Amino acid sequence: MRRFDFVGGVAVVTGAAGGIGAALAHGLARRGAELVLIDRDAARLDAVADAIRAAHPGRPVQTEVVDLAAAPATASLGQRLRDRHPRIRLLVNNAGVALGGRFDEVTLDEFSWVIDVNFRAVVQLTHALLPALKAEPGAHLVTVSSLFGLIAPPGQVAYAASKFAVRGFTEALRHELVADGVGVTCVHPGGIRTRIARDARVGSGVDLVAYEAGRQRFERLLTIDPGVAAEVILRGVARRRGRVLVGWSAKLPDLLARIAPLGHGRLLAAIGSPSPVRPAAPPPHTPGSSTAV
């Protein structure tokens, strides 16, 4: 498959109001893409769009304020985008949310909220826009999983379940779309410096004092600039990489999980990796701002 061409193609990015999503939007604008940016946070989304328009006068930038936690709103978004853009060159399913707490400390509603945003919305929007991707020669699909789509630590059952689901969905879809000429990349970011620790929801049964102490410790591990992460991802897209791991905090746990599928948790704790050992620690990154997202 030839290298991906960003210039002049329509690129749809969810979770674009901050973090990796905003950085991806800026990176795509620099590469000549026409943008459709989606997030729940209207004010921050407008700020990102305005900054891109100022830096790239004349570059088409469309915004959509949508809460992807709501399936009807996601369905309506998919239909609008297909009507306006029958050919889409790049879809980046980047939006995501986090929930701190062990399985017995969160409600099923809280658990389902994470699954809805992190997985159901990815499936739903991809299904809606797949005809537009297939109609565009050289199109590409990106899903953002996580370090916790490679390993599954305590205190992150909902988040890890959603991100492992994204990983499996993407890997199977990659094989299905080969004949259609659509490239597929699954991204696993490590400790990206975003708002994840501050914006994460906390399970109803979590000890808030213990959670806050864990959050502050964990936030210090988020060291990779979102702009750096976005460039790694976009280089992977350009080269049609099937999988992109961002940072040593994703690559090392991935290696250990392969070497010791059942015992890597103890190894990670022993070497000080950002795999949380306390039950309420937030995940190491979030793709975008809260629910969008």
Q: In angstroms, rounded to a whole number, what is the distance separating the alpha carbons of residues 38 and 290?
A: 12
Q: How high is the pLDDT of residue 248?
A: 82
Binned at pLDDT 50, 70 and 90, residue 124 comes out as very high
Amino acid 222: pLDDT: 64
Mean local confidence (pLDDT), 141-163: 93
E runs forming strands in the chain: 10-14, 34-39, 61-65, 90-93, 99-100, 140-144, 183-189, 201-202, 243-246
pLDDT of residue 250: 85
Banded pLDDT at 280 (limits 50, 70, 90) = very low
- State pLDDT tens for residues 227-258: 999 999 999 999 999 999 998 888 887 888 88
Q: Mean per-residue pLDDT for 214-220?
A: 61
Percent of the chain residues topping a pLDDT of 70: 81
User: Does the active-site annotation cover 211?
Assistant: no
Q: Which fold has domain 10-271?
A: Rossmann fold (3.40.50)
CB 188 within 8 A of CB 207: no
Burial of residue 230 (number of CB atoms within 10 Å: 0-12, 13-18, 19+): buried
The pLDDT of 201-222, averaged and rounded, is 67
SS3 content of the chain, % helix, strand, coil (to 5): 50, 15, 35
Taking the C-alpha atoms of residue 5 and residue 34, their distance in angstroms, rounded to an integer, is 12
Query: How many other C-beta atoms lie within 10 A of the C-beta of residue 107?
Result: 12
Minimum mean pLDDT range among 94-98, 172-176, 276-280: 276-280
| Options 111, 159, 164, 211, the catalytic residue | 159
